[in-house]
Structure 1
Amino acid sequence: MILFISDLHLSAERHDITACFLNFMANEASQADALYVLGDLFEMWVGDDDDSPFHQQIKTAFRTLTDSGVPCYFIHGNRDFLIGQQFARETGVELLAEHTVIDLYGTPALILHGDTLCTLDLDYQRYRKKVHNRFIQWLYFCLPLSYRQKIGDKLRSNSSNTNQTKSNTIMDVTPDEVVSQLRQHQVALMIHGHTHRPAVHELDMDGSPATRIVLGDWYEHGSVLVCTPDGNILETREFATPELSTRHCEQ
């Protein structure tokens, strides 16, 4: 089986999510043919030099998995797009391009985080273009870690406040962009996260059937896409000790 997860938004404050994730890594991902993480693994990532005990715990889980022979792949999300090669070296995880086509048991599939599909959210797309600028990132990394952490906290707070005023349509994917990406990459299967709206959507692409699978977030329970040669199933994983989350609509 091949497993897909996204939008865990791991943080030291959410022990229930962390416990569920570590259990998943040790007892489920360890039995997989491969694990794909499609972005927003962390609630915030300000640089690979942020070597907190919490981050070490998560990196150790990945290192244990990859050392056991299970390949693990990562696509950046909008919260952790600054994960870099140091993280990859320490964990054994392979960083993929933001739009990547993989072979899913004989079926080509386009995998991505999903934020690039939300083309109606013009403010976010402008912001995304700015923070992905290499020069701006270089300037950012010149700052001390403590400054970057404060900036990250401020951006996270601003994002939460802004998203509360946006309509569901704006924050969801643009259907035409979905079809455009499927057509561009010449595939009929897309897998992504970001919107926190787990579902399997059957589409029409130029008169032929296509499928878009949306991964769920990990705010109230774990969400895993389990793929086998026999099919693809979206499943949940319950938390051992649920905690109240106030971030259901955040992306």
Structure 2
Amino acid sequence: MSLLFVADIHLCQQESAITTGFIHFLHTRALKADALYILGDLFEVWIGDDDPNPLYQDIALALKVLNQRGIPCYFINGNRDFLLSSRYATACAMTLLPEQQVLQLDRQRVVILHGDVLCTDDKAYQSFRRMVHQRWLKQLFLYLPLSLRLLIADRIRANSQRANVGKTDNIMDVNQQAVMAVMTYTGASVMIHGHTHQPAIHTMDMDNCHYRAVLGSWHQQGSAIKIDAAGVTLVEFPFCS
């Protein structure tokens, strides 16, 4: 068994090297896995499954080919692409998962999630998250013309970047009590998440038998977590290796 987990690729038309690197990853490393899990923020921004952006079509084709080769792909929404829904998932032949999923791997329970819900010290972000995840607001947004949706998304992203300038690293990182609460509730011995862009594998304080594996972003290189017979491994690699 070999499972791959990625997150925070942040694909967009302005970053062609990242797109090329991710497609190369799908054609090489991902083909050697038994399954691929994408834990959110596959795209830098997502304004609806009806967006005809050619980039989205290219990624859908690459993911569908992966499925045709017998490697299933699973997706958990991130904070950037929380509006990605069943229409696009079907085009990719990937399975949508809830925001928190437990995998039973032999005797090991693994909980996977994007990770933004763990950053509970960032009160402003959590308040914003609760607001934009309201069903009525998401439906209202998706009724708007694409051009207006893109304008709103760009404005929100710019405001977020300005707000983050004044936040400390501690505020933007996960809260340990929130992590422990999820681990205890799910009975998992391993947690895998992204969002914080701080790749590492942390040994939990409880008994040194629990681990929190954090995925890196794909700004300058690829990042993945691999689970196989050797255990849980953080893998980082150049885009075209």
Q: TM-score range by the shorter chain?
A: over 0.9
Alpha carbons 1:105, 1:229 under 8 Å: kept: no
Per the alignment, residue 94 of structure 1 pairs with 95
CA distance in 2, matches of 1:94, 1:155: 28
* Residue deviations 1:14-71 (CA, integer Å, cap 9, x gap): 0111111010001111221000000000000000000211111111111111122111
Per the alignment, residue 71 of structure 1 pairs with 72
Matches within 5 A, 1:1-150: 1-150=2-151
1:186 paired to 2:187:
yes
Alpha carbons 1:105, 1:228 under 8 Å: kept: no
Computed over aligned residues only, the root mean square deviation of the Cα atoms, in angstroms, reads 1.4
Letter in 2 for 1:67: Q
Per the alignment, residue 236 of structure 2 pairs with 236
Alpha carbons 1:101, 1:110 under 8 Å: kept: yes
Q: 1:106 offset after TM fit, Å?
A: 3.9
Per the alignment, residue 174 of structure 2 pairs with 173
Per the alignment, residue 224 of structure 2 pairs with 224
Structure 1 runs of 4+ off > 2 angstroms? 103-106
CA distance in 2, matches of 1:22, 1:104: 27
Alpha carbons 1:202, 1:209 under 8 Å: kept: yes
Identity of aligned residues (%): 44
CA distance in 2, matches of 1:97, 1:217: 21
Where in structure 2 are there 5+ consecutive unaligned residues?
none
Alpha carbons 2:115, 2:196 under 8 Å: kept: yes
Where in structure 1 are there 5+ consecutive unaligned residues?
241-251
CA distance in 2, matches of 1:159, 1:7: 16
Q: How many residues align?
A: 240
Alpha carbons 2:22, 2:239 under 8 Å: kept: no
Q: 1:81 offset after TM fit, Å?
A: 0.3
Per the alignment, residue 244 of structure 1 pairs with none
Q: 1:105 offset after TM fit, Å?
A: 4.8
CA distance in 2, matches of 1:68, 1:144: 37
CA distance in 2, matches of 1:159, 1:19: 27
Letter in 2 for 1:217: S
Letter in 2 for 1:223: S
CA distance in 1, matches of 2:71, 2:12: 24
